[in-house]
Every structure is written in C-alpha cells, then in structure tokens.
A and B are shown apart, each in its own frame.
Chain A
Amino acid sequence: MTAQAVAREEVVRAPAWSPAWISQRLQKVLLHVVVIGLTAAWMVPAIALFTSSFRHFEDINSTGWWTALAPPFKFTVDNYAKVLSSGNLGHSIFNSFMISIPATVIPTTIAAFAAYAFAWMKFPGRNYLFLALVALLAVPLQLTFVPVLKTYVSVGLVPQNWGFVGVWLAHTGYGLPFAVYLLANFFRALPSDLFESAEIDGAGTLTVFFRIVLPLSVPAIASLVIFQFLWVWNDLLVALIYVGGTENVAPVTVTLANLSNSLGQGWHLLTAAAFLSMIIPLVVFISLQRYFVRGILAGSVKG
C-alpha cells in the first residue's frame, strides 16, 4: 500500500461517533447545505422569470410572481405558443447557428496558435505586444462599426454577395483579444518540465504543440468555446450592423427582440423568449462540461 492510501484509510476509518467522525460528517453536511443554499438563492431571479413566463399578462402586471405558486394556479402556455409560432423562429435559429459556429471556430483556432507563441516562444517585444492585445479588450465596439463597414462596402463584402462572411470576420476580430489572453494564460500554466522532456526527446515545435499542448489544454479550449459561442449567440448589435435584420438573415436575438413592439408592448413574451433562447447555449455548456475534469495533467510528467 502506498503511504497515501494508508493515510486515507486511517482518515476514513475514524471510529463511528468519534469527534473526528462527527466533525467530518458535519463538515460534509455543511458543505452540501451551503452549496445547495447558494445555488437556490442564486436561482431566485431566474425562477421568478420562469414562473412569470407561464402567467397571463394581466397577472404578471398586477401581482408578484410568488403568488402564482399558491392556489389558484392560473398558468398558461400562451406566451410560449406565441413565441414558438412567430413566423421566423425556426429560420432565425438556423441563422444564429450559421453565425455562431464559424464565429467560434475561427477565433479559437487562430488564438490557439498565437497564444502558444506568446506563452512559450521568446521574441523581442513579446510582452508589450501581448499587453497591447489585452488593451484592445477595452476598445468599444461601436467605434469600429463605421470604419469596418465602410471598408466592407467598398470591397463589396455585403450580405447580398457574401452572406455571413462579414460578420464571421468581425466576430473573429472582436473575440481574439480575450481568446488569446485566456489561452496564453493556460498554456503558460503548463509545467515547463513538459517542454524540457519533449526537447530532450527531440520533438519539434509542431509535435509539442499538436501532440502535447493541445490535448492538455482541453479544459481551457472548452471554456473559450463556451464563452465565444455564448457571446456571439446572444449578440444583437453586431449582427444588426453587419448582417441586417431582414427576415432571411436575422439571428434569433433579432427575432426575439422584435416580439415586443416599438412601444414596448408584448414584453411579457420576452419572459418565454428568454427561456427558449437560453436552451441552446445551456446545451452547449452542459455538453462541454465533461472536458472540465481534474487529472488531465496527472502522470504527464515523468519521474
């Protein structure tokens, strides 16, 4: 038995009802109480919205959402029905995917290469260049619209000719600073022994990157994919500027925003719309969760 296993057994085998045993159990219970309690409190606003999405407009307006949880239960699926039947929903969901997937894949791949260079290649001006990249995170997007759009128009990169290419490129440009910043940090956290052993084994840059670094960085890349996808999926303004809001190209954010009219009427439909539009990003998040596993690095360093 290893020393660790022995120690663990000693800890586990504390006699029942001994102070150590009680203290352990209490700690466990406390942990669960805190975790569940925090999560529940955190969810209150979302539960409020969820409940409201099943209520009639007049009820939402006149009474608090918690009153719906007691009899008489006046629930309705009207709001969801209206949202689901709004003409363009299916097509705009498709459009959202058409926009979001490339706008996630392209910056992630470009950032991976750049981040590796910033993390593990020494070159003059590296730190300052990297900082400049981080600084670009602060550039307000609205100020880039006119110059970029002007250039697009002058080269003919408009939706009629090139579809979504314009918005893919724009989201790539806008998403790269954060992507590089995040990935560079994770790459840098990899133990340097890794690279030294690889060098000793005669592995070149390409081998190290593709065979060692990338597989070990899966949690980081998964996080980046989630965030970039999410931000593009939920974006409204960039899409309106570079793609427009006409029915055949509008993403789902535009379609849902247009459920309420210019005077704000129909806002109660937004309660249902919010939940429907949340489903896809959540599915992406949950499906990527399995990459957030401890121990990927375990056993990666010899000796």
Chain B
Amino acid sequence: MDLLIQDVPTLVFVVVAVPAVLAIYIVGTEYLVRLLPDKQRPRVRPWFWVGPALVFVTAFLVLPALGTVVTSFQDHDGNFIGLLNYQRQLGDFPTGGAWIAIRNNVYWLILYTLFVLFFGLILAVLFDRVRYESIVKSFIFMPMAISSVALAVIWGFMYSYQPADAPQTGTLNFIVVNVFHQAPKTWLSDPTVNNFALIAAAIWGITGFAMVILSAALKGIPGELLEAARVDGAGELTIFRRVIFPLMMPTVVVVGTTLVIFALKAFDVVYVMTAGNFQTDVLANRMYKLLYQSDNPGGASAVAIILLIAVVPVLIFNLRQFRAVEARR
C-alpha cells in the first residue's frame, strides 16, 4: 500500500477513475430510472444525482454536527447537564463569557462582508473594461494564494510598532509618523483599532475570491445587452445600476452568504496574529481554545451551536431569494 503514497500512476488513476466511476453511476442510474413509468422518473432521478453529495456531507459534517449538539448538553464525563454549557458561555453579559467574541463577530459580519463585496464588485466591473484584465486580476488574486501564516507575517510587518523615538519598521506606523505626524499606534494591541486591523488583513486576503466569482458572473451577461444600453445613450453608472447589478444579484447573494459565513467562522487571521488577546476574540477562536487548551468540549460545542444558530437568518434570506427567482420563471 506504499504505492498509494508515492506513485504518480496512482494520482493519474484516481483523477481519471473517480469522474469515470461517477459518470458511469449517473448513466447507470439513468437507465434504472428509465425503467420506471414516466410520472415517477422526475421524482426518483434527483435523489440519485444528489446521493453521493449527501452521503459525503452526512458522514463528514452532519453526523459530527449532531454529535456536537449532544456534547453541548454534556459535561466532561458525558453526563447530561442541560443548558449549563450555554449558561456559562452566555453568562456575564456584556463582557463575560463569549460576549466579547460575539461583539467582534458582529464587526466582522458587517465590515468584512460589505467591504469584500464592494471591492470585489468594483474590481470585477473595472477590470472587465481593460485589455490587461488577466494581469491585474492575478495581482488582486495573489493574496488568496498565500497561506494564513504568511498573511500574518505580511500584516505583522504592516502593523509593526516601535517607540516614538525610534525609526518605525512598520509600513502603517511609518506613514502615521512621517506623513501625519502622529504618535505610532499599537495596531494589534489597542482595543479601539485592533479588530479593524485584523478585519482589514482578512479583507485583503479574500477579496480575490469575491472578485473572481463576480467576474465570472459578469462574463455571463451577454455583451449585446451592454452594447445596446450604451448605444441607447446610457451612462456607465446607469448601466451598472440598471443592467449589471440586477443580473448579478443571485451571484451577489451567493458571494455575500459565503462571506457572512466566513465572517462568523473567522479564525485563521485572529489565531495567528493575536490569538484572540486584547479583546479581539472571535467565536471560532474561543471554540478552539475551549476544545484544546481548556479541555472543555462541552463549552466548545455550545459555542459552535451558537455559531450555527447565527447562520439561520442568512438561510432565511437565501430561501426568500430562491422563491423570488422561482416566481420570476
């Protein structure tokens, strides 16, 4: 079985065999479905198509999630203790328990989502109009290719602090001291700015993601539509508002939803840059600490469930969007 680790042939085999097997599966089940009477076919067929996906997510996400729900009601030895874990995490409003993390996640939710959507959209639209689009897109995308550890190193440089009488080594403080003539700021430890500093680093890292998806959606808008609008004398801004944005709305919802969930799950940037200290804690970081440092799986599970509950409003919004799109068909 060492072959499975070392071999290029194994790689090729897997890359070819898996799609082939899946294709055969789909074709095979289609024949099975054809054996059914016409009316039954549309009722049975979808389940074959979504089947493999459902199996995987059940095994890797649903069952563990259910396990997490159970654990959130248990103490360390597995005894049922009702809502005690939740009480502990949600106690001491406003500064105790998970409340600082919750407050910070709200910052993330609003600022991260809005700025990334804004930048992603603007960049996608602007870059679409220049011939060197590929090149600039690659530059904006570059931060996505960086691991979170490297991101922390980069932005650690940007936020570096030296005492006021010493030469600044951090880019931001250099500008603050030499251009704005202010005292250098401790960007990562000052509670009035540090959350925003972390969010800025995260925005830098993920905008490429939004830009790529929004750009792909933009390309899906037929060129003739835009040309016709221009010929009709519409200005660029109007074209954006009346033609482009409405047609991209479904994709904006998808990107926005994904970003909201990323904001709730924000972990890497916080963990590597401040580890949640100086009031920058976020729910995922708190969960990590409870699970691995405090050896408190019940508390960690409770925090995870709180996170999952916070996703529900987003899901409701999505549901409304689906129904609206369906109605328009």
A residues near B (Cβ < 8 Å) are 4, 7-8, 11, 27, 31-32, 34-36, 38-39, 42-46, 48-49, 52, 61-66, 97-98, 101-102, 105-107, 109-111, 113-114, 116-118, 121-124, 126-127, 129-131, 133-140, 142-144, 147-148, 159-165, 168-170, 172-174, 176-178, 180-182, 185-186, 188-189, 192, 204-206, 219-220, 222-223, 226-227, 230, 234, 236, 248-249, 253, 256-257, 267, 270-271, 273-274, 277-278, 281-282, 285-286, 289, 292-298
29 CB contacts below 8 A, A to B, read: A4-B224, A11-B230, A45-B143, A45-B158, A45-B171, A49-B154, A66-B171, A98-B10, A105-B18, A113-B22, A113-B26, A113-B50, A114-B50, A116-B49, A117-B50, A121-B46, A124-B43, A127-B319, A133-B57, A139-B64, A143-B300, A144-B64, A147-B64, A185-B254, A186-B220, A219-B216, A234-B146, A278-B145, A289-B134
The residues of B that contact A270 with a CB separation of less than 8 Å are 149-150, 153
The residues of A that contact B127 with a CB separation of less than 8 Å are 35
The residues of B that contact A65 with a CB separation of less than 8 Å are 157, 171
A52 to B147, Cβ gap below 8 A? no
B11 to A138, Cβ gap below 8 A? no
> What does the 1/0 interface line of B50-81 toward A look like (CB < 8 Å)?
10111011011111110110000000000000
Most chain A CB within 10 A, of B134, B215, B216, B318, is at B216
Q: Give B171's nearest chain A residue, CB to CB.
A: A48
Q: Give B253's nearest chain A residue, CB to CB.
A: A185
Name B302-329 residues within 8 Å CB distance of A.
304, 307-308, 310-312, 315, 318-319, 322-323, 325, 329
Q: How large is the interface on B (under 10, 10 to 19, 20 to 34, 35 or more residues)?
A: 35 or more
The residues of A that contact B261 with a CB separation of less than 8 Å are 137-138
B60 to A4, Cβ gap below 8 A? no
Instruction: Give the CA-CA distance A63 to B162 in the complex, in Å.
Output: 10
What is the total of A-B residue contacts with beta carbons within 8 Å?
A: 323
Q: Give A171's nearest chain B residue, CB to CB.
A: B60
Judged by a CB distance under 8 angstroms, whether B136 is at the interface is yes
Instruction: Give the CA-CA distance A62 to B157 in the complex, in Å.
Output: 12
A148 to B43, Cβ gap below 8 A? no
Given A64-B168, A161-B1, A289-B138; A144-B61 close (CB under 8 Å): yes
A223 to B216, Cβ gap below 8 A? yes
Knowing that A113-B26, A143-B65, A289-B137 are A-B contacts, what are 19 other residue pairs whose CB atoms are under 8 Å apart, sorted by A's residue number? A4-B224, A7-B231, A42-B140, A42-B204, A61-B169, A64-B167, A110-B52, A117-B45, A121-B42, A130-B322, A136-B65, A138-B265, A144-B60, A147-B63, A148-B64, A206-B26, A236-B147, A274-B153, A289-B134
A249 to B5, Cβ gap below 8 A? yes
Q: Is the interface of A mostly helix, strand, loop or mixed?
A: helix
A226 is contacted by which of B27, B53, B212 (Cβ under 8 Å)?
Answer: B212
Name B209-237 residues within 8 Å CB distance of A.
209, 212-213, 215-224, 227-228, 230-231, 236
B301 to A143, Cβ gap below 8 A? yes
B231 to A8, Cβ gap below 8 A? yes
The residues of B that contact A64 with a CB separation of less than 8 Å are 167-171, 174
Instruction: Give the CA-CA distance A131 to B254 in the complex, in Å.
Output: 12
A294 to B287, Cβ gap below 8 A? no
Q: Give B5's nearest chain A residue, CB to CB.
A: A163
B168 CB, nearest partner CB in chain A, Å: 6
B11 to A97, Cβ gap below 8 A? yes
Most chain B CB within 10 A, of A126, A136, A143, A253, is at A143
The residues of B that contact A161 with a CB separation of less than 8 Å are 1
